[in-house]
Amino acid sequence: MFLTLEETIWLIKEGKILHIAGSEQLLRQLPKGSWVGGSTEYFMTKMGGKVSSDRLFVTQYNYKKFSINTYDTATIQNIATETPYQGFTIALIPAESAVHREFAANAMVFKDMFVRALVGWITGTNPDKPEQLPIAINGSTGEIFTDKAVALSMETKRTPVVNIVNIFEPSEKSPIITFDETLNNGFMVENCLINGTHSNFAEFITLNDVDTKLPLIGQFSGALLNTSIWGIEDGKVKFASPIFNDVEYRFAKPVPDYEAAFVEKLSQLSNEKPIFSCNCIGNFWYGNLENKLNGGVAAAFAGPVTFGEIAYQMVNQTLVYVTLR
């Protein structure tokens, strides 16, 4: 639901269990209640992609058993173990915080990870508004965090299933790229191996006119996951999620038409009924999705546009959703 501040406050006061996404300014005005919130001004709605500072995207849940928890760098490792076996957790983590880096770099080895249904997103800001901060809010206590994660965990009668929609696939023309040294918890690299040859990664990208809107794709236990290139700075390449040393990567194939690619993927999922969904800011920006993907099957996948998605571990340039089996 794409709601006004007043409509959202009414739901909170009615005691509803809510997952809320919106601008920092609006989130800070919400009263205490059974909700968690994260900052973004980008959304996929039934009317298509929207940028808004005066609306909140609200998902209401009707489960009887739920909990709201807060995690720092020391306790984030417990997030999977505190997710119900028969249920799921929505985690919200402020972008570029220490807990973001800790989760992104180490989630794969957290206890019970991939056994419990863990999803969520990285909160962020509108880059045109430098005064904003990425925040996550524990609505039950009213605490607002820039350095901690919050999570809404709920028990369900049916089994939650975590799904990823990825419009990218590895390019057969791409070299195999590996990294034997990373910086900043894997969020930055300087050097790499290109088909086994040592190279400066930033120089390789520049000399080969690589389209950095395309992610790197690595294989993780059989799953193909994206890592978005966030930029080049002082001869180093920055990423939206970590690079791992033991993974072989390739650049993705070009996607000529983002909207058509999503419509094709989502049309194959017409029978799905998501209870949670989020889409990546990389898809929104690079695909120019504002006012696109409106109506039709895409409407079922409405949700916040995020600065990194969580489908057990961190992923990028994907759409993540949860269904009940």
pLDDT in tens, 135-178: 999 999 999 999 999 999 999 999 999 999 999 999 988 999 99
Q: What is the pLDDT of residue 74?
A: 96
In the block, residue with structure tokens 């970590």: 242
| Rounded distance between C-alpha atoms, residue 278 and residue 218, angstroms | 21
Q: What is the pLDDT of residue 245?
A: 84
Q: Is the predicted pLDDT of residue 184 greater than 80, yes or no?
A: no
In 179-303, which residue ranges form alpha helices assigned H by DSSP?
201-207, 258-267, 281-286
Q: What is the pLDDT of residue 234?
A: 85
Q: What is the pLDDT of residue 38?
A: 98
pLDDT per residue over 255-286, tens digit each? 888 888 888 888 888 888 999 999 999 889 88
What are the angstrom distances between the C-alpha of 60 and each of 23, 142, 212, 275? Answer: 18, 18, 37, 9
- pTM, two decimals, is 0.91
Q: Rg of the chain over CA atoms, in angstroms?
A: 19
The DSSP bridge pattern shows strands 87-94 and 117-123 to be parallel
State the SS3 of 139-208: CCCCEEECCCEEEEEEECCCCEEEEEECCCCECCCCCCEECCCCEHHHCEECEEEECCEEEEHHHHHHHC
Q: What is the pLDDT of residue 52?
A: 95
Other CB atoms within 10 Å distance of the CB of residue 173: 8
| Rounded distance between C-alpha atoms, residue 154 and residue 24, angstroms | 25
